[in-house]
Structure 1
Amino acid sequence: MNQSLDAQLLAQLKQGKAAAYDALFLKYYKMLCVHAYFYLAEEEEAKELVQQFFVAFWEKGMYHHLEGDIKGYLYQAIKHKCLNRLRKWENEQKLAERVRAETIAAEEEDREVVENLYYLLEQALHDLPMQRREALTMVYIQDKRYRDVAQEMGISINSLKTHLKLGLKNLRERLKNKQEA
């Protein structure tokens, strides 16, 4: 009796009767949600998947190609949709893990590069003559104004600018040579 009702619904569907679609939906929706939940273990995902299937089933006219057991077809279709969803989740999870690992590796590499550059800068700064090192340190590291630095060092602002210019030139040369080595 149940199969004959399904056969009647299928025949009516093929005739384009929306009432048959509604009856099929009402008859199988809850059971298909339970079936999908068995695979997905998430109630809302299961409901959404079944609803999307029924929409596509109607809009794409998938029922036109059906013969025989519609219940079996619906269960198999939902099973395949669930398995596809699980594969998609697994692939997304793998991708997220790979991105996470690459990000961690890149951050570690960046940290090493910065530490190395800082060490080279510190070494190059230490190798400068005392007044140039002081001028660069006070102006660029301590962020003091030229006038205040010149006064503190007991030199003119023009002399300070000369120390800064020569100090930066020396730093560039030393860092370039150390990076090439």
Structure 2
Amino acid sequence: MDDSILFNKIQDGDMTAFYQVYMSYWPLLYSHAVRMLRDEEEAKDIVQDLFIYAWENRSKIHFEKIKPFLYVSLRNRVINQSLRNKVEQKYLKRTFPVHNFDEYLHVEEDILYKELEAEIEKGIEALPPKMQAIFRMSRVENLSHKEIAEQLKVTTDNVKKTINRALKIIRSGMTKIIFTFFLFFMST
């Protein structure tokens, strides 16, 4: 189908025609964006945004061929993203005056790990004495369930259940720090 006919259908709100353009050009645009940005996630976002923009502004866009419009728009979006990335890097370097931003991330990661260790220790200390002893024998002394059961003269099933209950108690008190960890690692 001729691009101009296809675009006329898109301007009239024909989602099927738009989907046809999307399926035809998405892989090419994505590949092109990855080569320019060297970042697959940014490339996906930019191409998706381009198609969303094209659909939402279909009645305002005037062009004879779809392909040139998409490629020029993609190039402009990639240039804008590159400029934003440079500004962001400058801001980060000024805001976090360390010799290397990776060094800052390493320090931040260390702090989060120490906070996590402290929260785990608080959780262990809050356990009832017998549960705490069994948990420490398992996790700190690295004893098997069988070895713990023999030392305490209980069943291995009892040891297993006690450790599972201890883990549930410790995890329930760590929701905030786990969420912080998750956000940190998703942003890096």
- Per the normalisation by structure 2, the TM-score is 0.49
Instruction: Show the counterpart of 2:90.
Output: 94
* Match runs of 1:101-120 below 5 Å: 101=97
Highest CA radius of gyration, 1 or 2?
1
Amino acid in structure 1 at the alignment position of 2:78: C
Check if 1:73 corresponds to 2:69. Answer: yes
From 6, 26, 36, the counterpart of 1:9: 6
Amino acid at match of 2:77: K
Give SS of 1:92's match: helix
Q: Give the unaligned 5+ runs of structure 1.
A: 103-181
Inter-partner Cα distance in structure 2 for 1:35 and 1:64: 25
Q: In the alignment, which residue of structure 2 is the partner of 1:30?
A: 27
Q: CA deviation at 1:54?
A: 0.7
- Listed one character per residue, the Cα deviations across residues 100-147 of structure 1 (whole Å, up to 9, x for unaligned) are 229xxxxxxxxxxxxxxxxxxxxxxxxxxxxxxxxxxxxxxxxxxxxx
Give distance in 1, aligned partners of 2:20 and 2:36.
25
1:18, 1:95 → 2: CA distance? 41
Shift of 1:64: 3.5
Question: What letter matches 1:31 in structure 2?
Answer: L
Give the distance between the partners of 2:33 and 2:47, measured in 1 at CA: 7
Q: Percent same amino acid among aligned pairs?
A: 29
Q: 1:58 deviation in Å?
A: 0.9
Aligned residue for 1:21? 18
Whether the 8 Å contact between 1:37 and 1:43 is mirrored in structure 2 is: yes
Q: Which residue of 1 aligns with 2:136?
A: none
TM-score (normalizing by structure 1)? 0.51
Q: What is the deviation of 1:52?
A: 1.5
* Contact 2:11–2:58 (CA under 8 A) maintained in structure 1: no
Instruction: Tell me if 1:41 matches 2:28.
Output: no
* Deviation of the 1:65 alpha carbon: 2.4
Aligned residues: 99
Deviation digits for residues 19-58 of structure 1 (CA, Å, limit 9, x no counterpart): 1110110010000001111211011211121012111221
Is the helix fraction higher in 1 or 2? 1
- C-alpha separation in 2, matches of 1:46 and 1:87: 15
1:162-181 matches, within 5 Å, as: none
Q: Paired residue for 2:55, among 49, 53, 58?
A: 58
- Name the structure 2 match of 1:148: none
Q: Distance in 1 between matches of 2:60 and 2:95?
A: 44
Structure 1 segments, 4+ long, off by >3 Å, are none
Aligned Cα root-mean-square deviation (Å): 1.9
Distance 1:64 1:14 in 2: 9
Whether the 8 Å contact between 1:10 and 1:63 is mirrored in structure 2 is: no
SS state at 1:101 partner: coil
Q: Which amino acid aligns with 1:54?
A: F
Q: Any conservation in 2 of the 1:13–1:21 contact (CA below 8 Å)?
A: yes
